[in-house]
Amino acid sequence: MLLYSPAASFPAQAGTSLAEDLADSGYAVVSITDTHGAFPGTVFPDGHVELYDSRNLTNPVGDIMRMSSQARAADIRFVLDKLTAFARGSDPELPMGPALDLTNVGMYGHSLGGTMAVFADPRIRAGVDLDGYADPSDLAAGLVAEPRRPMLFIFGSWADPDIRRRTVDRMCAGRVGWTRELVLAGAGHWSFSDLGYLPRQVAEAPLLSGLLGTIPADRAHTVIRTYVTAMFDRYLRNRSVPLLDAPTSPFPEISANK
């Protein structure tokens, strides 16, 4: 069982390609939209709509991070509680419920969603953070990183490496679990979502070129999919995965975060 949390302002559908690949590998994937943090709004199955919270456009960044991380932490708890109930057969309309393994739950996310994989509910056994890093002081009060949770970090090469290094060090302070930090050369921030597949004419627009990077979307997706699948195969399925500890990567675009 895997949970997915998207970037700020993105709906969960922005991670559909990777979720489909993980499902093809045998994982049940539950994608969680931040109800008031997805632009322009969130449509629920019964048809009602919750609009994007305009404070995400006007408040200071620190306030937005605290508000969003608090909401996401609560959503993750809620989803895990509901899935646990489904696994116990609480919903007769969900016959697959008892097949869900809630003892082996992983979480991956993009940007703020990736940061939440570090700080999420202690029931999460392993996490993957895709280009997300935040100073813990900018997150909601009470959020605590699980120090033993195995974590894989994959960052784009767009950010200042010194700022990234300092922020990641603060975010990972006190960690004792398995940790690997990688950088995907040529990847922009949006390369870790389906927005990487925007037409090149759009991607090359001045305001977007830095967000989408230079690595072709298919190549970025292949690298990300391979590492994310390997991470969960090791820590949720107890499989031998030499890729994760190899001193060099079979993908020349991958290097260690320094």
Q: Report yes or no: 105 and 123 within 8 Å, Cβ to Cβ.
A: yes
Q: Report yes or no: 31 and 12 within 8 Å, Cβ to Cβ.
A: yes
Token pair, residue 164, equals 């990234």
Q: Report yes or no: 30 and 79 within 8 Å, Cβ to Cβ.
A: yes
- pLDDT at position 203: 62
- Domain tally, the chain: 1
Rounded Cα gap, residues 118 and 151, in angstroms: 7
Q: Tell me the per-residue pLDDT of 150-204, one tens digit each, with 9 for 90 and over.
A: 999 999 998 899 999 999 999 999 999 999 999 999 999 999 999 988 877 776 6
**The model's pTM:** 0.93
Handedness of CA 169, 162, 107, 105 (dihedral sign): negative
Handedness of CA 14, 20, 23, 28 (dihedral sign): positive
Residue in 100, 96, 122, 120 with CA at minimum distance from that of residue 108: 120
State the residue for tokens 């919903």: 91
Buried b (16+ CB within 10 A) or exposed e, 105-120: bbbbbbbbbbbbbbbb
Positions in the chain short of pLDDT 70: 203-204, 207-209
Share of the chain above pLDDT 70, in %: 97
Q: Which domain holds residue 236?
A: 2-256
Segment (H or E) for 134: none
Rounded Cα gap, residues 87 and 97, in angstroms: 4
- pLDDT at position 211: 87
- pLDDT at position 123: 96
Q: Is 105 helix (H, G, I), strand (E, B) or coil?
A: strand
Residue in 107, 84, 142, 87 with CA at minimum distance from that of residue 32: 107
- pLDDT at position 209: 65
Q: What is the CATH number of the domain that holds 217?
A: 3.40.50.1820
